[in-house]
Amino acid sequence: MTPAQTIVTRFAPSPTGYLHIGGARTALFSWLLAKSEGGTFLLRVEDTDRERSTNEATDAIIQAMAWLDLAAEGTAVFQSQRFDLYNSHIDRLLETGHAYWCQCTPDEVEAMREKARAEGKKPKYDGRCREAKLGPGPGRVVRIKGPQDGVTAFQDMVKGPTAVQNSELDDMILRRSDGAPTYNLAVVVDDHDMGVTTVLRGDDHVANTPKQILLYQAFGWDVPKFGHVPMILGPDKAKLSKRHGALSVMEYKTMGYLPEALVNYLARLGWACGDQEIFSREELVKLFPAGNLGNSPSVFDIKKLEWLNAHYIKQSTPERLAALLPEYLAAAGGTTGLNLDPSYLASIMPLLQPRAKTLVEMADMARFFLVPTDQLAYDAKAVADQLGPEARQLLADLLPTYEALSDGGDYADHKALEAATQAFLDARGLKFKAVAQPLRVALTGKTASPGLFETMCVLGKTEALARIKRALTL
């Protein structure tokens, strides 16, 4: 049997800003589509608009895709370097009569649109130069000579059968008056040239698809499969915007989200596979074709992302989290004086993993572990509430018990610490509640913390005792 053509997908951002959440999702879906069928995923940078494109944006997009682990095959294609290719194809269209020169000025075309609008018709170029048989000249553009009747139809992978009356389309410009090719032309030439078999892109491109199909037909090329994924909305159901705080993928990194959490969240936004919520990358690749791509816009819900992030934090190894944390400590309060020894940090992580929803929170919770005792910040209210005369006396009485325990032995086992404490309390007929909060404040400076004895273990004998003693002096 003849092997089916292997799938080739691509992500084609324009470098006019960072990679936003919607773009990331289309990139992910395209990547998944390719990988799930053993195909190839390509990256193309659509920088034909030299005014708005920047190298910084290109780098930022590539960096964000790397963070999400969406690797593209080979090196990226840059449209700005392929103008000769596009122009030779435009010439070919001119020769075959599928395109023509037009001398109408932007103002004239705008007037045509106004007129059409006033008549309640679709605003479009009226085609007055179609048969003028003009040649090149200053200020002239090249337009496609599109069909004026009939329909252009295609099977959209997510929306189903889609068709547009050709009369709705106007003769779009292929080459600008400055000689530069336009978007739709470049896209078609590139997708064909790169061997793209499947185009998955944002909803905002549906209207371009028939125009591009017309170009494929004019060139006599095979038309790829198209799919248009719905947009992502903000909490107010309006288009996601800056007001919602979070559109750049890398901002999510800054906010302390793990890439696999974002990927999992994005995958489930507009796609579902039964009732499953948690997907490893491997499962995503395997299950993507089996799931449903939704066809209605979805609202970005940060709460659910948080939940997934908490899940993946719990799944992570302490070592990985320990390696990630210094960056967040530095961003919030700095790292001077902190003990950032990797294995020490790693020993803290298991206490924080069940508690933190983001790495930012985690850094905040980790701080008291890392600061030297004499710099530990005690919460004033906590001290006032929990370290009264009685409590201090109790801690002072408890001190010898903890001093008697061996560092590295008993202090490596929180159960031993707990047992010793319980024995001390039993001898005095006290409840555990009597010491819990005072001890916690003494050790951590706060009223909320991980388990007391686990905390003491991580701190170690020297540090733990020093903190209790310091608390007695406050």
> What residues act catalytically?
242
Q: By C-beta, is 40 or 212 nearer to RNA?
A: 212
Assign 388 to helix, strand or coil: coil
Q: Shortest gap between Cβ of 422 and RNA (angstroms)? A: 10
Q: Shortest gap between Cβ of 26 and RNA (angstroms)? A: 12
Please give the radius of gyration of the chain, using alpha carbons only, rounded to the nearest integer: 32
Q: Shortest gap between Cβ of 337 and RNA (angstroms)? A: 24
Q: By C-beta, is 335 or 368 nearer to RNA?
A: 368
Q: By C-beta, is 184 or 335 nearer to RNA?
A: 184
Distance CA 350, CA 339 (A): 17
Residue whose tokens read 């530095």: 330
DSSP string, 125-194: ---TTTTS-----TT-EEEE---SSSEEEEEETTTEEEEEEGGG----EEE-TTSPBPHHHHHHHHHHHT
Q: By C-beta, is 123 or 259 nearer to RNA?
A: 123
**172 within 8 A of 144, measured Cβ to Cβ:** yes
Strand partners, 248: 20
Q: CA torsion angle for 302, 305, 310, 311 (degrees, to 10)?
A: 160
Q: Shortest gap between Cβ of 268 and RNA (angstroms)? A: 5
Residue whose tokens read 């489930």: 268
Q: Shortest gap between Cβ of 2 and RNA (angstroms)? A: 27
Q: Which two tokens stand for residue 345?
A: 């940090």
CB atoms under 10 Å from CB of 336, counted, come to: 7
Q: Shortest gap between Cβ of 3 and RNA (angstroms)? A: 27
**31 within 8 A of 225, measured Cβ to Cβ:** no
Q: By C-beta, is 198 or 444 nearer to RNA?
A: 444
The alpha-helical segments, DSSP class H, found in 183-258 are 183-193, 208-219, 249-254
Distance CA 106, CA 103 (A): 9
Q: Which residues contact 441 (CB under 8 A, 6 or more apart)?
A: 378, 379, 382, 383, 386, 387, 447, 471
Q: By C-beta, is 203 or 330 nearer to RNA?
A: 203
Q: By C-beta, is 204 or 397 nearer to RNA?
A: 204
Q: Shortest gap between Cβ of 403 and RNA (angstroms)? A: 20
Q: Which residues contact 318 (CB under 8 A, 6 or more apart)?
A: 346, 347, 348, 349, 350, 353
